[in-house]
Homo-oligomer: A and B are copies of this chain.
Amino acid sequence: MSVAKPVIACLIVIGNEVLSGRTQDANLQYLAKALNVVGIRLMEARVIPDVEETIVATLNECRARFDYVFTTGGIGPTHDDITAACVAKAFGVRLVRHPEAEARLLRHYKPEDVNPQRLRMADTPEGAELVDNPVSSAPGFRIGNVIVLAGVPRIMQAMFEGYRHKLTGGAPMLSRTVVSLVPEGKMAAKAAAAQAAHPATEIGSYPFVRDGKLGVSLVVRGTDAVQLAAATEAIKDAIRSEGGEPVEEG
């Protein structure tokens, strides 16, 4: 059996509005799930402000550490939209008007609505490949292993769905969830033993309160279905041995 190196990604959420609490980010959760489907594992996310120095430094750190880096936010027409310029700076290339992106914007807007600020959305780092935006035309782009997406969730999702076939993933992470009303503190020793006995899987323990009752979701993750099944059975046995009733959730 070959053990492939996992393909890992980082998400950089660019935007003061998330850090001020004005906006609840919805892109992390969407991308986490969507990337997993194509066998890419989100290993880190960062939320950073609209500050050039921070964006450039974060991009350069993350693109060296991860197979893919996704960014969301900061690609609109206003003065606080500085992502494209920062990506160019991080890669040490010029920011240039992309002819195809410009053509798309000119088709999208009525002639009287075209202005220099809107056309600025056609500026991309030299050598970048466009990422289509079927919602509002202004494209994202990819350069190296960095993929730049919109911040508005509906647009980001449409961009990602149109681009995902170009991503190269590994084995998708599979997961199984076992729920019981045995409190996690009572289960902890046996969950740890199950984890130790099944090191190819990751067992997470997440307490919850449902209908006034305290319970725990034990989530077993791994790329090998057989090993996953063995770890899941170990967890179910552990729950039963504490007098609980394991219920597997879909």
Contact = CB atoms under 8 A, between A and B. Distances in A.
Interface residues on A, range: 35 or more
A241 to B, nearest CB: 14
Contact of A79 (B20, B50, B195, B219): B195
A185 B115 contact: yes
Interface stretch (A28-36, A123-131, A141-149): A28-36
A17 to B, nearest CB: 6
A184 B78 contact: yes
Contact of A20 (B16, B32, B77, B186): B32
A124 to B, nearest CB: 17
A23 interface: yes
Contacts of A54: 44
A20 B174 CA distance: 11
Interface stretch (A93-101, A157-165, A201-209, A224-232): A201-209
A115 B186 contact: yes
A21 B16 contact: no
Nearest to A206: B17
Contact of A25 (B28, B117, B189): B28
Interface in A28-87: 28-33, 36, 42-50, 54, 76-81
Copy number in the complex reads 2
A42 B17 contact: no
Interface in A173-220: 173, 175, 183-189, 191-192, 195, 202-207, 219
Interface of A: 16-26, 28-33, 36, 42-50, 54, 76-81, 109, 113, 115-118, 152, 173, 175, 183-189, 191-192, 195, 202-207, 219, 221
Contact of A189 (B17, B76, B116, B207): B116
A184 B16 contact: no
Contacts of A29: 18, 21, 24
Contact of A185 (B18, B25, B113, B195): B113
Given A17-B204, A21-B29, A21-B33, A188 B117 contact: yes
